[in-house]
Structure 1
Amino acid sequence: MVRIKERYLLVKILYPNEIGTRPDLPDLVLVNQPTTDQLTPALLLRTIRAEVASLFGDYGAGAIEAGSLTVKYHSPATSTFIVRTTRSTYRLVWAALSFMNSVPVKNGKPCIFRVVHVSGTMRKAEEEAIRRARNLIFAAENGRGGQTDDPLGNLFGQPTRSDDATATDLLGIEDDDSDAEMGEVSDG
């Protein structure tokens, strides 16, 4: 019996055009605002299929049309959703999501669909969604979402909690551009 391998893409909808529009709210909150309730899983599927068809033509449309593309989770409150697709077509879906530039509803806001995690199981994708939501709440509560020079810095690469620090941060190891950084191991 052949097992069909699948991939789960955790997608975050970001609103970078909202930065600085409301001085009473931190930029981190504006970028991660809730999505409209008019956005449904069925509408997301139709939009993703249309974008794949426009980018990859009949090949792309046929590749994802075999019932393999579904929205397994959608949360307008956190602006996240999880898409399930086959392992052979997840790159097509990822590319289509990257090219989408507005919420697919009438008079939809400009936004960015960012694939933040790819997983082989639904459980790992859900755990990552929970971890990201928790980190976002901690960042907003600790004032890290305030007006800064780089409002997207908290989202892209900087740890938001001390337990997310890398091993080199925890051990106090300094980066000295040694051979170990390049993956080479010396015998001594």
Structure 2
Amino acid sequence: MVRFKNRWLLVELLPVPAPLPGRAPTGQPQEGLTSKQIWAALKQSIITHFGDTGWGAVGSSLTIKYFSPRTNLCIIRVAREPHKIAWAGVALMTAIDGRRYVPHVVHVSGTIKQAQLAAIRHNREIVARYRARAKLPAGYQDSYEEYLQTSAQEIEALQD
């Protein structure tokens, strides 16, 4: 029996503050993203840029395994053979549900464990940047410590 081999893409979705042309900005904050919206936008991006053949290669194996609306960090599973089509589809995505985002592929791995470790490492780097920008002392306790612990537990709980 042959094992089904995957690639795991760790993607950070960076929001663009300017609204799309033709849409007036509203004073109300927009609701957060969901993994379903990301999957639909990724599907549309792949169909637009690679056609039905590209979607046929990727579609059966493409899943969003993890998404954090707080950090806009996402883990995507795709089959090993067509993973470059999915990667390109992510890179070419411009909007999700009418809101503009810049996707940043942080890490690509062959196992979910390595994607989890990269996500935890990435979260720690982001928190370190926030702390450096705020010029806080090294021993300062803030709400980020609790967030790092809960996010690490959440990410480590993922199963293949």
Ranked by relative contact order (alpha carbons within 8 Å, sequence separation 6 or more), the top structure is 2
Q: What does the per-residue CA deviation read over 1:126-178, in whole Å, with 9 as the maximum and x for residues that have no partner?
A: 11111111111111112279xxxxxxxxxxxxxxxxxxxxxxxxxxxxxxxxx
2:32–2:69 Cα contact (<8 Å) kept = no
Which amino acid in the other structure matches residue 77 of structure 1? R
Match of 2:49 in 1: 55
Cα offset, 1:38, TM superposition: 3.7
Cα separation, 2, equivalents of 1:73 and 1:112: 18
In structure 1, the residue corresponding to 2:129 is in which secondary structure? helix
Structure 2 equivalent of residue 10 of structure 1: 10
Q: Equivalent residue for 2:143?
A: none
Is residue 78 of structure 1 aligned with residue 68 of structure 2? no
Q: Give the number of the structure whose residues are more often helix, by fraction.
A: 2
Unaligned runs of 5+ in 1: 19-35, 146-188
Percent identity reads 35
- Work out the CA distance in 1 between the residues paired with 2:123 and 2:57: 32
RMSD of aligned residue pairs (Cα, Å): 2.1
| Larger proportion of strand | 2
CA contact (8 A) 2:10 2:76 kept: yes
TM-score normalised by L of structure 1 = 0.61
1:136 aligns with 2:126: yes
Count of paired positions: 125
Report SS of the residue matched to 1:14.
Answer: strand
Q: How does 1:1-188 map to 2 (within 5 A)?
A: 1-15=1-15, 37-66=31-60, 68-102=61-95, 104-105=96-97, 107-108=98-99, 110-143=100-133
Contact 2:62–2:79 (8 Å) recurs in 1:
yes
